[in-house]
Amino acid sequence: MPIKKATIQRPALPRFEDAEGLGPQDAEFVRDLIAVLKKHGNIDRFGLCLLHDHFPLEVDEVLVETNDPQARTLNTRVEKADRTRHIKPSQWRFLPDVRHARAAAFEGQPYQAILQCDVVSLCPGRER
């Protein structure tokens, strides 16, 4: 059986084990980012996440986050984009100069949603 290649058109991300988190050398960068977020009124709306891959995704796949508030658990799984119940992206990757697999869905926006929230299972912040 032939090996399937990942077909997302984006620069490769490091594996989680190899991804470098924030450190003291990033203090100026974080201060600049905070200033931009404040300028646009988004300081309590957006933050940072460590971009990394655990495994490749196909063009027609998305990561979907679900949670169980009673058990206090958060789960992420891969689903086919056209069959998932996801409706609210919760993490994005900046792609200022990269054509990405779902560019048409973003009409030239310099980002790609990398994690969707399944509101059916109560996304963070959604009441029952």
Q: What is the pLDDT of residues 25-56, one digit of tens each?
A: 999 999 999 999 999 999 999 999 988 888 88
Question: Does 18 have pLDDT greater than 70?
Answer: yes
Phi-psi region of 17 (alpha: psi -120 to 50; beta: other; left: phi over 0): alpha
User: What does the pLDDT average to over 95-113?
Assistant: 61
Q: What pairing do the DSSP bridges indicate for beta strands 61-68 and 111-117?
A: parallel
- Mean pLDDT rounded to a whole number for the chain: 77
Number of Cβ atoms within 10 Å of the Cβ of 17: 7
Asked if residue 22 lies in contact with residue 47, where contact means CB atoms within 8 angstroms, the answer is: no
Q: Which has the minimum average pLDDT: 7-11, 41-45, 52-56, 78-82? A: 7-11
